[in-house]
A and B are shown apart, each in its own frame.
Chain A
Amino acid sequence: MSVGILILIVLGLALLGYFVGRQRALSKAANEGRKLHSLPSYYGQFLALFTAVPALILLAAWLFVQPMLIESHVSGLIPDSAIPEGGARSLVMSDVRRIADGLDALMEQGGLGEEDLTRMRADLTNIRSRLAEVGIALGSNVPVEVFDAAKTYRSEKNTGSLLMTIAVLGLSLASGGWAFMRIRPELRARNNSETFVKALLLGSSLVAILTTVGIVGSLLFETFHFFQIYPAKDFFFSTVWNPQFRGGSDLGILPLLWGTFYVSFVALVVAVPIGLMIAIYLSEYAGRALRNLAKPAIEVLAGIPTIVYGLFALITVGPFLRDWIAQPMGLGTSSSSVLTAGLVMGIMLIPFVSSLSDDIINAVPQAMRDGSYGLGATQSETIRQVILPAALPGVVGAILLAASRAIGETMIVVLGAGAAARLGLNPFDAMTTVTVKIVSQLTGDTEFASPETLVAFALGLTLFVFTLGLNVLALYIVRKYREQYE
């Protein structure tokens, strides 16, 4: 039975359980002449949850564990002699899986019976051509051991899924039945349902946290591999970035970090003053009608896909800067430049700064403004000397969040600043950033064993450490600020 149908059956049982539980609670209460502790629907929920949740958890666990068990068993069946020269066991195993799938397909389409299959032997039948009939192409003829392994794989998989169906349905009925027996008027079904909600919410937050841990873990693992084959000293301190896919590359991170910080710096120089002034205008000067119109309009900027910004940089800003500024001043002839990417990225960041700062400035208590106006200060004096100092920590937090966004930006840089790793000061030169190089190292037909590809993980980890640091700093500052007024 397929997993989808199994899930549907369990959910159907749960739905049935809902009505049964509700009915049982009502009739028990009527028989015993007692008042129900909770509303009748909670008893229904109680039974439904106990029918579905343990069974679904078992199903998930089974689906996770079964393939691992079968794989390890079957791969033990394949003797070393069956593994071709220079190949890997994992490659043979993927053949095994495909043959097993092919056999299933054959049984469906080709009228192959279970008995025919047991009689089928790799040395007598032409497996390759039969599998080709159902669309499974194999590179070579199938060795006997591999075919036998595939047969074992297939039969174990079928037994496994049969067992799984029985276990899941059995657990569903058993725990549902147990819950059914427990339904009495004094059962605190409402509290049980509350516990479940709590567990659900906790589970959701765990998903987010575990994903972060998983990402960091995989980065760390691959970075460790990289540093085993490439010296860390060269990576962190070399000023040359020159990957060669034939080997012997220079993989110094410094030019990339420099490009990242240069572009981000230009972006922040654009975004911070404009964003702050927008925030001040919106929160202090603009009327309500204008504010309600302007704030969403500015936030639209944040919703534009970065690739669109990239196009804008590539076809509008870049040529403009080159033709009107860089060339007349003799500073460069490249349309991709740090300035192009920085300017466009700055525009993208404006709403990050303005929106957050606006909220923060609004959070400064009205009493501060009153106090200042009451002393005869004008609006701009009040803003400069009272409101901005009071909002400063929060504004700094907003700026740091924008900075971490700038550091991680890729598309605008690819199209705006080019791909040349360079250490230089001229803002009209093409440069590149860490993120761009991660993309370019991983695109194309490459295997994950050479330093040229593994370096992407070391770059990613470095970037992650930087942005994580900025985010932690930003959160720390914002939190410290909040304590001031609460």
Chain B
Amino acid sequence: MNQMTEVEQKAVEMLNEPKIVARNVQVYYGDTHAIKDVDVDIPAQSVTAFIGPSGCGKSTFLRTLNRMNDTIDICRVEGDILIDGEDVYDPKVDPVQLRAKVGMVFQKPNPFPKSIYDNVAYGPRIHGLSRNKTELDEIVTSSLQKAGLWDEVKDRLDAPGTGLSGGQQQRLCIARAIAVNPEIILMDEPCSALDPIATAKVEELIDELRENYTIVIVTHSMQQAARVSQRTAFFHLGVLVEEGPTEDIFTNPHDKRTQDYITGRFG
């Protein structure tokens, strides 16, 4: 039977429909043209890595996806960024709601100066995701479990989050992001401040989270991109040079610049 039912066809279409679509995106910092003509599709339930040398604009582009750049006065974004077909920069969109849907993990672990429990409960409390203490406890527990931190901290949920080790702090920040139940998680070099063992744990976690979330990760390390991502996009000087399945980018790059970068000629 080659013919699919209508429902099945719809399901396949939806699976194929990219979660994030960017078309002709330009970003300006004052007079500087930081991102030029970026077109990219990011599929759902997968890990997409942005690689490139420092200052190439990959973090800037990442931050346009949840409008974190709004907090910078001189930053201006043009072009279309659609999440589930909705324009992120539409005046009707509330950036605060958007950021609940598109979570973010930062380069340096930044737990709040509160207890571990309160760190994770922060988002659910703001957004009213729980009706009572039991539900909140459940959200905190499951978020910490998903972030692989539960076993290490279950006995000291009242201890300050800032007292954890660097890797634990970063996983706490991931748990904090998961607790809001986002659809997309943006990660801005999440392992650059961590040692190799903590990095391995976070990478393992990213791989597990792929089942439920769409993940976009910016990384300096090409090995990391190769290990965790399904698709890779290479940025250079504000331009998206090449984008495709990770294997293709690393084994058979089309563009000379990509080849130079992954073979270590620059960057």
Q: Which A positions have Cβ atoms within 8 angstroms of B?
A: 287-288, 365, 367-378, 381, 385-386, 389-390, 484
The reply to whether A371 and B106 contact each other, CB–CB distance below 8 Å, is yes
The reply to whether B106 and A374 contact each other, CB–CB distance below 8 Å, is yes
Q: What is the bound-complex CA distance between A211 and B9, given in angstroms?
A: 88
The reply to whether B122 and A375 contact each other, CB–CB distance below 8 Å, is yes
Of B68, B73, B97, B108, which is within 8 A of A374 by CB? B68
- Main secondary structure, interface of A, reads helix
Q: How many A-B residue pairs have CB under 8 A?
A: 72
Residues of A contacting B73 with CB < 8 Å?
287-288
- Can you list 28 residue pairs at the A/B interface with Cβ under 8 Å? A367-B106, A368-B110, A368-B113, A370-B71, A370-B104, A372-B122, A373-B68, A373-B99, A374-B68, A374-B99, A374-B177, A375-B99, A375-B100, A375-B122, A375-B126, A376-B101, A376-B127, A377-B96, A377-B126, A381-B126, A385-B122, A385-B126, A386-B112, A389-B112, A389-B113, A389-B114, A390-B113, A484-B162
Q: What is the bound-complex CA distance between A468 and B122, given in angstroms?
A: 39
The reply to whether B110 and A376 contact each other, CB–CB distance below 8 Å, is no
In the assembled complex, the CB of A384 is this many whole angstroms from the nearest CB of chain B, namely 10
The reply to whether A374 and B96 contact each other, CB–CB distance below 8 Å, is no
Residue of A nearest to B70 (CB): A373
The reply to whether B112 and A371 contact each other, CB–CB distance below 8 Å, is yes
Residues of A contacting B110 with CB < 8 Å?
365, 367-368, 370-371
In the assembled complex, the CB of B99 is this many whole angstroms from the nearest CB of chain A, namely 4
The reply to whether A374 and B103 contact each other, CB–CB distance below 8 Å, is yes
The reply to whether A378 and B96 contact each other, CB–CB distance below 8 Å, is yes
**Most chain A CB atoms below 10 A, which of B73, B100, B122:** B122
Residues of B contacting A385 with CB < 8 Å?
112, 122, 126
Residues of B contacting A288 with CB < 8 Å?
73
Residues of B contacting A375 with CB < 8 Å?
99-100, 103-104, 122-123, 126, 176-177, 180
The reply to whether A369 and B71 contact each other, CB–CB distance below 8 Å, is yes
Q: What is the bound-complex CA distance between A140 and B246, given in angstroms?
A: 111
Q: What is the bound-complex CA distance between A389 and B103, given in angstroms?
A: 23
> How would residues 84 to 125 of chain B score, 1 for a CB under 8 Å from any chain A CB and 0 otherwise?
000000000000111111011110101111100000001100
Known: A287-B73, A367-B106. A376 touches B99 (CB 8 A): yes
Beyond A377-B123, A390-B113, A484-B113, 9 additional pairs, beta carbon < 8 A: A367-B110, A370-B68, A370-B71, A373-B71, A374-B106, A375-B126, A376-B96, A376-B100, A386-B112
Of A368, A373, A378, which is within 8 A of B112 by CB? A368
**Most chain B CB atoms below 10 A, which of A288, A368, A374, A381:** A374
The reply to whether the CB of B218 lies closer than 8 angstroms to some CB of chain A is no
In the assembled complex, the CB of B241 is this many whole angstroms from the nearest CB of chain A, namely 28
The reply to whether the CB of B173 lies closer than 8 angstroms to some CB of chain A is yes
The reply to whether A374 and B122 contact each other, CB–CB distance below 8 Å, is no
Residue of B nearest to A377 (CB): B126
The reply to whether A376 and B123 contact each other, CB–CB distance below 8 Å, is yes
Residues of A contacting B100 with CB < 8 Å?
375-376
In the assembled complex, the CB of A377 is this many whole angstroms from the nearest CB of chain B, namely 5
The reply to whether the CB of B48 lies closer than 8 angstroms to some CB of chain A is no
Q: What is the bound-complex CA distance between A376 and B179, given in angstroms?
A: 12
Residues of A contacting B173 with CB < 8 Å?
371
The reply to whether the CB of B66 lies closer than 8 angstroms to some CB of chain A is yes
Q: What is the bound-complex CA distance between A373 and B113, given in angstroms?
A: 16
Of A373, A376, A484, which is within 8 A of B97 by CB? A376
Q: What is the bound-complex CA distance between A372 and B180, given in angstroms?
A: 12
The reply to whether B108 and A367 contact each other, CB–CB distance below 8 Å, is yes
Q: What is the bound-complex CA distance between A389 and B71, given in angstroms?
A: 21
Q: What is the bound-complex CA distance between A377 and B177, given in angstroms?
A: 12
Q: What is the bound-complex CA distance between A368 and B162, given in angstroms?
A: 12
Of B105, B106, B108, B112, which is within 8 A of A390 by CB? B112
